């Protein structure tokens, strides 16, 4: 089937106009209205709570209001270790979410099982549900999680469903080997 196009004329001010595709407009709206469902199981929960603090303020990215019902959310945050006993519950939560649904694996344990190399720990959320964004770190810094959220928003705007990994930031190191904190170094 070919692409269906239609022209809509909106009555209103005669000063200016804008044109866009309907898919682009809908993706833009989805990008800034993410309702999160936190599936928090382990120590990464403290960093997850830090995201809502005034310092990092995840609300400015349109993902502030947590929904504790999967039927009202579209972004599943898998925060921490997922055990074999939790895996069916996580799968059920994912299945109850309405489309479109996105998954963000928060931390090394959710991404690949972490340092747990045993039979009780699930070696990554992608073994049971499709995962869109992987945020590595034990625990990941809130800045890395915000980078993951921005990466997810870019993927939503493009309509891309391929998995992505947040790249680590590199710190600017001075010649003495220390990271400068506030003042600029004099030459």
φ, ψ for residue 75 (rounded to 5)?
A: -125, 115
pLDDT at residue 92, as a whole number: 92
d(CA 118, CA 165): 24
pLDDT digits (tens, 9 = 90+) for 1-46: 556 666 666 666 566 666 667 777 777 777 777 888 888 888 877 8
Q: How far is CA 126 from CA 11, 40, 44, 115, in A?
A: 47, 16, 18, 17
Q: Indicate the CATH number for domain 32-165.
A: 3.40.50.12280
**Token couple for 86:** 């939790």
pLDDT digits (tens, 9 = 90+) for 47-103: 888 887 888 878 777 777 777 888 888 888 898 888 888 889 999 999 998 888 889
Per-domain residue ranges of the chain: 32-165
């Amino acid at each position: 089937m070919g692409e269906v196009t239609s022209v809509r004329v909106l009555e209103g001010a005669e000063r200016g106009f804008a044109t866009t595709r309907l898919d682009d407009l809908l993706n833009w709206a989805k990008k800034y209205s993410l309702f999160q469902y936190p599936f928090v199981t382990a120590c990464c929960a403290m960093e997850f709570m830090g995201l809502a603090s005034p310092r990092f303020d995840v609300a400015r990215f349109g993902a502030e209001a947590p929904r504790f019902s999967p039927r009202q959310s579209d972004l599943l945050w898998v925060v921490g270790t997922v055990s074999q006993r939790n895996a069916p519950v996580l799968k059920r939560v994912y299945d109850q979410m309405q489309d479109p649904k996105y998954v963000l694996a928060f931390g090394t344990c959710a991404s690949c099982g972490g340092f747990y190399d045993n039979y009780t720990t699930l070696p990554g959320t992608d073994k049971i549900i499709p995962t869109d964004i992987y945020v590595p770190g034990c625990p990941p810094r809130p800045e890395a999680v915000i980078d993951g959220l921005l990466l997810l928003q870019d993927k939503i705007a493009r309509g891309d469903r391929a998995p992505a990994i947040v790249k680590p930031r590199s710190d600017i190191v001075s010649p003495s080997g220390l990271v400068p904190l506030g003042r600029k170094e004099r030459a």
